[in-house]
Amino acid sequence: MATQRPPEPPTPPPGPGEGSPEEQLSEAAVIAMHSDPRFQTLKKSLYSFIFPMSLAFMAWYLLYVFMTAFARDLMSTQLFGNVNLALVFGVLQFVTTFGIAILYSSYSRKRLDTAAAVVREALENGDGGTGK
Kindly state whether residue 95 falls inside one of the protein's structural domains: yes
Interacting residues of 46 by C-beta distance below 8 A, sequence separation 6+: 112
Termini Cα distance of the chain: 65
Degrees to nearest 5, angle at CA 131 with 125 and 132: 65
Provide the domain count of the chain.
Answer: 1
Express each pLDDT in 23-49 by its tens digit. 554 777 778 888 889 999 999 999 999
Residue 2 lies in a domain: no
Q: Is 2 left (phi over 0), alpha (psi -120 to 50) or beta?
A: beta
DSSP-H helix ranges across 3-112: 21-33, 37-70, 72-75, 85-107
Residue 5 counted as domain residue: no
| Host domain of residue 41 | 25-124
Confidence at residue 59, expressed as pLDDT on a 0 to 100 scale: 96
15 in a domain, yes or no?
no
* Best CA proximity match to 109, nearest among 121, 101, 98, 99: 101
| pLDDT, tens digit, 9 for 90 and up, residues 57-114 | 999 999 999 999 999 999 898 999 999 999 999 999 999 999 999 999 999 999 999 9
> In sequence order, what are the residues at sequence separation of 6 or more whose Cβ sits closer than 8 angstroms to the Cβ of residue 90?
64
Q: Give 128's contacts (C-beta < 8 A, 6+ positions apart).
A: 29, 30, 32, 33, 36, 122
Would residue 35 count as lying in a domain? Answer: yes
Which secondary structure element, helix H or strand E, spans residue 15, and what is its range? none
